[in-house]
């Protein structure tokens, strides 16, 4: 009889521990961090198709987005996208002769050096913010960002989908955890 009670208590303790563990895992995944799989070549060579990453969902709740952050965001009727923030609220964005101009000043993009070295011609075609927004805006309004994929010739980004509302950003991502040989922080 005493052994039976002891087994029931042990079973109850294990059940409680498992429920708490699953509950905490669900809370962490839903509110703080989530895995995501890179689908496509729009962020190559920085991210490869099939890379598995961790999305930090709380970063923008406690801090502001920064230029060149890699973010995951929702799009209308489509899956989540992974792109790099290029323009922030108040910025004017333009590209000319394969150079990024923010508010009229050239801004270096060191993460593109490898791809530019292996690409004939310009990686990014010329554009201005006015052209890609059909003249609707000359500077990025509050609450929005301008995003581009690193593989500019194969990226559906703000040049095609428009400015991204900050409320559609799921979070930022900097950590590849699979494949193991690619694991680490993304520059």
Of these residues, 6, 15, 16, 42, which one is catalytic?
42
**Secondary structure of residue 141 in the 3-state scheme:** coil
How many CB atoms lie under 10 A from the CB of residue 164? 25
Q: Considering 6, 8, 83, 99, which one is annotated as catalytic?
A: 83
Strands in the chain per DSSP E: 33-37, 52-56, 70-75, 78-87, 93-96, 99-102, 105-107, 127-128, 144-148, 164-165, 169-178, 184-185
Task: Tell me, rounded to whole angstroms, the distance of Cα 159 from its chain centroid.
Answer: 17
Q: Could you tell me the CA-to-CA distances from 6 to 10, 17, 23, 26, 73 in Å, in that order? A: 6, 16, 26, 30, 51
Element (H, E) at 133: none
42 is catalytic: yes
User: Is 138 among the catalytic positions?
Assistant: no
Kindly list the catalytic residues: 42, 83
């Amino acid at each position: 009889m005493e052994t039976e009670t002891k087994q029931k208590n042990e079973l109850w303790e294990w059940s409680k521990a498992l429920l708490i563990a699953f509950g905490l895992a669900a809370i962490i995944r839903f509110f703080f961090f989530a895995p995501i799989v890179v689908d496509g070549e729009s962020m190559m060579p920085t991210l490869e198709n099939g890379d598995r990453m961790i999305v930090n969902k709380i970063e923008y709740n406690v801090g502001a987005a920064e230029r060149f952050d890699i973010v995951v965001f929702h799009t209308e009727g489509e899956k989540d996208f992974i792109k790099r923030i290029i323009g922030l609220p108040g910025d004017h964005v333009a590209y000319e002769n394969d150079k990024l101009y923010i508010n009229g000043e050239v801004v270096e993009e060191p993460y593109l050096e490898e791809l530019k070295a292996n690409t004939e011609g310009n990686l990014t075609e010329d554009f201005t913010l006015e052209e890609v927004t059909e003249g609707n805006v000359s500077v990025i309004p509050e609450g929005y960002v301008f995003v581009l994929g690193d593989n500019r010739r194969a990226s559906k980004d703000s040049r095609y989908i428009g400015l991204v509302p900050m409320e559609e950003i799921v979070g930022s991502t900097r950590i590849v955890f699979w494949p193991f040989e690619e694991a680490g922080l993304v520059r």
